[in-house]
Structure 1
């Protein structure tokens, strides 16, 4: 089962809406002076109208600087691997059972940052909430800056796969794939043709590509998400 969530984000989220104005900080980080962060899924219709009328419509040179997409899977994603056209930094955090519980692909300040984590365990640890499903994992994709404008094409070069490194018959290929999956820095030591070869091979030994499921889910929700984006970006007033 696959569910899609999305969130517009500009800063941190202490409650429902976070508003920040800091010119010094903005100049230092080369960004806009005023930032507003909110999750539309947590706002009532009345709250959305108030925020639109009293805050968003009065902002000059406004625009989204971050958009979060989140997909929930009732499967164990601990063995999945994110692969893009370019090598990305990978960080893994393990749980008490020794299995991966959180995986980061990329860095926080990159245009696209991917997080895969055990949502069931996260809800248990942070809110002491038990989820009935055997597994519940979440894939979150943070889009920033220019990437926000291409949110409906954010999977173009992305593959989230479950490769079986033992599949190739040649021991040398098995060893190389295992090394590439577990030591991300190894990609940078390969020549161009070798990178192409092993990326192609990893796709071939991965029967499931989660990005295909996410693409279809995003496509099914595309009109609704675009409607919300248009709502926040258009300059118009609501009259009683």
Structure 2
């Protein structure tokens, strides 16, 4: 078993310094690695690409920024997929910007050689919108906590399966090294980005293994984790009782959530440095 943590998708928004807009447009329109799709006085859209996959998205829309009272410039990318040339483009662009903000950041934990298809993923405290997708055999493949449009959405999914379906040849080859590869991902937007190092404390994440408990208790826990429509019909006191059991009961000799917390604590300086740089700050 191995667990790794990284920042995944990043979205930077900013204003362009008034005396730098022409220079920025010239850079975008003439850089050999940048493909421009739209180029107007107060609007441009561009990207870099490799092996059919977009790596770095570059957008500027002055009018939209004014209409929505928002920063008009946007950069979107996955830090782990940036090539040297993409990093150089970002390094050149950042000094052209001001009032930089990170409007989205994804914190991703990769669990190698751990089968999470029978794991519990639930939010502590108040209930949230939940969706899950299972295989024909009933095995979990993807689970979402939180609506797609919400400031916080948590995902657990079979990363190996996703890479084999959508990855580049190199990514497929990497995925095939493992019998299991799962990802637990926290997608944070706007103000929630500030909670990136604390959001892991808001979930329950452990194997579903309650065989030593009474059958009645197991039935309630199955309803809680598999059928929210039935669960909502139970009395509030009953729900509270079994939620406490779900959270406190030790289902495995390995505390996976605690391992991830320790890893995050260890990697926090590196991740903070990345966030500071992409946010236009000195780490």
TM-score, length of structure 2 as denominator length: 0.71
Structure with larger Rg: 2
Distance 2:70 2:228 in 1: 31
Partner of 1:225: 271
Choose between structure 1 and 2: higher strand proportion. 2
Partner of 2:131: 91
| 1:177-201 deviations in Å (ceiling 9; x for gaps) | 1111111244544555433321111
Q: For residues 53 and 182 of structure 1, do their structure 2 counterparts lie closer, same or farther at Cα, with a shift above 3 Å needed?
A: same
Q: For residues 25 and 91 of structure 1, do their structure 2 counterparts lie closer, same or farther at Cα, with a shift above 3 Å needed?
A: farther
Q: Are residues 1:212 and 2:252 paired?
A: no
Residues 89 and 184, structure 1, Cα contact 8 Å, conserved in 2: no
Q: Are residues 1:64 and 2:108 paired?
A: no
Q: For residues 89 and 225 of structure 1, do their structure 2 counterparts lie closer, same or farther at Cα, with a shift above 3 Å needed?
A: same
Partner SS state of residue 99, structure 2? coil
Residues 163 and 205, structure 1, Cα contact 8 Å, conserved in 2: no
Distance 1:194 1:27 in 2: 51
Q: Are residues 1:9 and 2:29 paired?
A: no
Residues 162 and 209, structure 1, Cα contact 8 Å, conserved in 2: no
Partner SS state of residue 131, structure 2? strand
Segments of 5+ residues of structure 1 without an aligned counterpart are none
| 1:84-110 deviations in Å (ceiling 9; x for gaps) | 222122222223544221122221122
TM-score, length of structure 1 as denominator length: 0.83
Q: Are residues 1:106 and 2:106 paired?
A: no
Partner of 2:72: 33
Residues 6 and 68, structure 1, Cα contact 8 Å, conserved in 2: yes
Partner of 2:225: 181
Q: For residues 184 and 35 of structure 1, do their structure 2 counterparts lie closer, same or farther at Cα, with a shift above 3 Å needed?
A: farther
